[in-house]
Structure 1
Amino acid sequence: MALTMIPPSDAPDFLAAHGWGDARIVPLAGDASFRRYFRVIGEGRQAVLMDAPPPHEDPRPFVAVAEWLLARGLTAPTILARDLDRGLLLIEDFGDVRLRETLDATPQAESDYYAGITDLLLHLHGQPAMDGLRVHSLEQWLGEVSLFTDWYCPAFDLKVDEAGFFAAWEEVLKPVDVDGLPRVTVLRDYHAENIMLLAGREGIARYGLLDFQDALVGHPAYDLASVLEDARRDVSPAVEAQMLERYIDKSGMGEAFRTAYWALAAQRNTRILGVFVRLWKRDGKAGYRQYQPRMWGLLERDLMQPGLAPVRAWFDANIPAEKRAAAWSD
């Protein structure tokens, strides 16, 4: 699924209908889905055109979550214009200062930035969960890790004990599913490449949120694991430990949260190992292969936690070392 960055043919009419008829349209980005983004540049102003073409994409969840986040003091793009049937949105442009590149340029500020985005999650998790979202719990967690056996294992001709795989994961995740911690709005793709830094704003408002259309209602540990065990950049283990303690101290959730954090980090990283192979094999997006050694490093570190012993035993018995990070070193 190689995306071409040519604006949709109906984009000029859409823009003209909403007062942007004289604007230029330039490519901005594509992502792992069918969505594409273009910068729209007019006289002294600019915005972003999101193309979420039906039937592959539906912009309605993005709109609903964006408006919900804005109403709760978080910074999501304002929706400037919409044609939901054609999958076109004109949204606020957050500019080009992304957290990922800022961290790369100023690694000494890593702790400060991650403190800010951890506090953002604490604010988000202090709100009642958004109505109408799908639930993210044990059934969904087990379904997601199946991407590893469905895609990763066949790619390396691995014959594995699938029944044992799911039994191990259920043993680890079932206690998390019933741990009694509040269920919250989970942005689900919360990481440094989906967070923009906005000038002239302070506190958590300076962090512009993107790519939240797949939001769910789920465990509060999930998004913290997503941002601290980032597939696209190395977060120092010291900062990860500091932010985990920061969240626990400020939320008062205690050891149940810590247990859930490591279990859901491992679950997410296992899912991503499968997702990235699917993007490579099915969708022709070989670039995602570059992240696999990092994902294996993160997963293997997660599996050293005592609560992950059943899953660690399964990996040790079924996935040899040469089929892990070493397989992606070419």
Structure 2
Amino acid sequence: MGFDLGSFVAALAGDPVLALIVVLTLGATVVNGATDAPNAIATVVGTKAMRPGPAIAMAAVCNFVGLAGITMISSAVAATIFKMVDFGGDNHAALVALAAAMVAIIVWGVVAWYFGIPTSQSHSLIAGITGAAIALQGGLAGVNGAEWMKVVYGLAISTVLGFGTGWLFTRLIKRTCANANRRKANEFFKWAQIISGAGVAILHGAQDGQKFLSLCMLGIMLAMTGQSGGDVTFPFWLVLLVSAVMALGTAVGGKKIIKSVGMNMVKMEQYQGFSACLSACFCIGLATFTGLPVSTTHTKTTAIMGVGAEKSLRNVKWGLAGRMVFTWILTFPGCGLLAFAFTHLFLTFF
């Protein structure tokens, strides 16, 4: 069976479970656009290089371009997520479990957004599908350990490399521009920061967008063919749909997260904002093209911490940073348990 748009629409009309899966997945994508995407341009706003409105609009466009464009070159992250769990042979139960995972991801993300906490929707997604698979299989048999280890590698990249390159790029720029005219340097780094911030937004679209693209495709394959294994090719119409939905989420949300990350954590100058964006671009780009799922929130925040620590450890508001780290740590068991509980609940009634 093909996955062209006509076949999908026909299947959607006759299968309410598939319709529910698609709506929930796209809903989770909107939440991601509202909660994770603003981190890409948080420093651009925090240093006053751009006003919040135009910056959010830029991020929305770049998210769309990133997912639609980069997926055509490499869908390595989507393939990793697609193979991370196995929902088993019962097609109906697998669809119910996937729906439960999506509900858990949305609930976790909305609560974090409401309180202005930049939690990672990437980590929520991974925790959600893992918790649902464990509930469905009654243990770890449904979890692909080799693919899950890529999450651990991604955490190392976003934490250690994010902090380290943020510190390093700031130090290099300070030494290189030590004798530069301050006014001209600020003007240069203002535009350099806008460009690099757009780059982070593009890579966020590719990284996080591919995760939700993968789950949407998983639901479509389960509903239309009853199978989910093997290699997968993502139809272009689906790529465009998920791209547009993520861009919509970015456009309608984001100011709370921008304030927490770009304005409250570290007080930055233009060159420091550029260093943070450059660090995030490097780390997220490296992970995207090697198939490692990383969090844009996690990567950008640790880069900002590295930038602030370059001058003095006192420049970083470690209390706020600690609250964010606690949220990241809590996400895996918290969202995973939500998905586990929702899976059992949904299977009872459906």
Q: What is the TM-score of this pair, normalised by structure 2?
A: 0.24
More helix by share: 2
Q: TM-score, normalised by structure 1?
A: 0.25
RCO greater where, 1 or 2, for CA within 8 Å and sep 6 or more? 2
